[in-house]
Structure 1
């Protein structure tokens, strides 16, 4: 007899192949286009097409799933993904490639939405923390595995074929599952300007995390290729960042629980900016050894990969404990997606204008801007903070339903007026505490 755990394991196998296939495709895209002689701006636009598809998925995928069901929809999206990946083999026309990448992004995020719906509905409240933690582990392992495939120096044809094979492999566990199809969560809407009024640092942090994280994934390979790195070295660079990103999650979470999300976001932004600035400085000094880039990747892993989860935690801190945060979390994921869509375009333009120093200059500027913004925000008192939960930013919109912070206490739907009043109350408390802290630090004054 198949147990509940076994059924979830099948879904995790599906997610593993999805992340690995997409990770290979996303990180290899820049290499392939750069080797074709495409300029950085055009590469950025083509990479942004993935996230245009993601935005379209949030609008239209619900209708497909509601019409034909989860399992059939999963098979359809998987098949179309494979067709779009293999379609790259038929032509070198960049306009066609752009359209195919919109399709890839649409299908990938639709597939994630379907799998996450099963996780969210079939996991009990007590098990959601474990399910989400395992989801994080699968994300980092599978995405790293996809990147590791680059080290085998696959040809363009092989990359497209392997990516298609992996996504088709993801279809098998879902097609064979005995889990009943879940109900799709209703689409929730929240005004981003109003969310900015409630939790400005959370919104700006999630948007900047998208700018930095997906700028890194989509354009790092292009930058390194133009610095004379081979594909194997590029793969190691990306893997270094992924491994450090995974290793940093728990320590950063504990530090943010103790010192606050504002301090943690500020510190991670400064680490990222310092790493990028060090990279520029060493390049200006004529030090171009591989270890320089690996050291920057090490610091990026610590700084960049924690920003989205910290932003979600900051938003949770600024809402009443008994209030559902699902709507806010989905809005933050949407903000992250908008940053992800703009990232490769902006970074491509900067790299074309500033040549070899533009890549790291982009990270210096945006990480520093986030640090300045975080510095200007008020800290949330320790007794008002929610628990920190590691949230994978590369997930679909249903991942917010797995957040265990929504399973404690008496929940009530998100209420904008009440949330605004609570955020204002926290700000007043922080302002009142500030003079007392200064007097404690300077008793002679």
Structure 2
């Protein structure tokens, strides 16, 4: 049995600050002073931090879009496009673009028929659907004849690149890799190409890959189920309640045009930031960025999510039953990342549940042996909008979620009424 609990948090955060001493945390001012920032004419912001320790450079393209921005009925589409960004462009990933596009259009035509037939619900013709699915597979196979698998990644590897990857969170999507420093221009050209001329090839095949990802991470994972139910219970109105990987019916129903429209809306220079760190001269980076990244078409910056989660007026409690190790998860509403209380909340998470010297670990794991794990964290499932302060515990053998909850709430009550020792605050600042 796994439980989660959300309460309205009223924690006197100023107690953390009153106990602070005079020692300072790591000083980032030197690094900050060396960052060169410029903005291209199309609105793209670029940050460059020269570091000459080794002849390499690392690159991150951050897009201000995540799972919270998924349109209704298309949960997981931000994650889908992340996959599509590695499928290539008009130049990369194909042996014959013209023939490939013809078969891709045929895929779209057939899938539209499938969607329309499924929309009939119980009246849908199952034999027709089976026939259309066969036709879709044949069209996909025909388009696949012209696909050069993973050509984008092969070019990166051949030119000495490493760490090619990406991630999608509720708030952002980020693409990253490292290259030898003398491949700066190649990275610029390839990054500009994939965000100017993406070809969403193999989209219907990739949907099945993502569906399997959902089965593994959520539907076949007791903890995955708990987290999804937990977030859904925490947010009634705000789209943080979306499934990040997508609900299965949405995954199977969206099409190539849905993903392309999402790309056109959010992947605009004014909604993106490029970060370059390494053996790079800022002026050279600026010139190359203007030459390549400056060609990405400008577009209006998407509006932020305006839906606000209404105040929570009562406790919300859920129980997920499964044949699994018990897990306890609770959350307390907290403000967004730019709120002045957020640093104190992050410090509180460190004090309560980060590492073997934290209060939760010492009490639940070491002293009372109620749990084998105990962790606290601030900013879940995202930080762009008001989120949650979370506490996670995995009960020890023959111990229960209820016993862990009782001790967790007692520790929270204690920290609300007592100053955190000054020496603990200094340790937190040193780790920051």
| TM, length-normalised to structure 2 | 0.26
- By relative contact order (CA 8 Å, sep 6+), the higher-ranking structure is 2
Higher strand share: 2
Pick the structure with greater CA Rg. Answer: 2
| TM, length-normalised to structure 1 | 0.26
